[in-house]
């Protein structure tokens, strides 16, 4: 987990660039998340971005109270909406007040810094999912990647982690940091799309 404020902007820009390159033909393609096609992964990214934007603003309500679940989808305006809410997410977490006190996300009350760590993890790992699913190169923001890895590593011994992330996929200690983070998230870093 990160002990200091981190600018989420560089990672949200990575996600926005990846999403902009997704073609309509790819929306039904599989992703490393077995239950989600690309369109559902984009829907999940859109929903979590709104939820963590509002958690950062401490604007608690329907968007922060809903537990994740189901298979999300995108609407017709997702190409305009996703980059907009990604920018708003980054702006919300640039405010030092977002990192202090308590907030809520996914229906769970948690400290601001923990909510930020979860948001960073979601952006880094789902960025990898989206890049892999659509055959794009992926270079996450290095600071966000380090924070996501540290967050996932800190939860490795938590008995309830598999309900959130899935079982850890073993990765060599000398593997690239991204591969180690992906393995800690319950994904196989070697996953490739099969169409």
CA–CA dist 83, 13 (Å, integer)? 8
**Which 3 state secondary structure label does DSSP give 115?**
helix
pTM score of the predicted model: 0.94
Averaged over 152-159, what is the pLDDT? 82
What confidence tens digit (pLDDT) does each residue in 13-56 have? Answer: 999 999 999 999 999 999 999 889 999 999 999 999 999 999 99
pLDDT at 66: 84
What confidence tens digit (pLDDT) does each residue in 105-150 have? Answer: 999 999 999 999 999 999 999 999 999 999 999 999 999 999 999 9
């Amino acid at each position: 987990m990160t002990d200091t404020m981190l600018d989420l902007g560089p990672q949200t820009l990575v996600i926005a660039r990846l999403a902009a390159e997704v073609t309509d033909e790819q929306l039904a393609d599989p992703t490393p998340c077995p239950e989600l096609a690309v369109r559902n992964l984009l829907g999940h990214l859109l929903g979590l971005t709104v939820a963590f934007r509002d958690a950062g603003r401490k604007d608690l309500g329907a968007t922060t109270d809903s537990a994740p679940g189901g298979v999300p989808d995108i609407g017709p305006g997702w190409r305009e909406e996703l980059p907009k809410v990604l920018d708003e997410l980054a702006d919300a977490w640039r405010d030092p007040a977002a990192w202090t006190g308590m907030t809520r996300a996914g229906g769970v009350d948690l400290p601001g810094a923990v909510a930020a760590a979860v948001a960073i993890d979601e952006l880094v790992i789902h960025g990898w999912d989206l890049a892999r699913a659509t055959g794009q190169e992926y270079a996450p923001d290095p600071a966000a990647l380090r924070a996501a890895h540290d967050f996932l590593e800190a939860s490795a011994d938590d008995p309830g982690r598999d309900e959130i992330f899935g079982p850890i996929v073993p990765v060599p200690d000398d593997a690239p940091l991204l591969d180690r983070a992906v393995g800690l998230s319950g994904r196989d870093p070697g996953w490739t799309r099969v169409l």
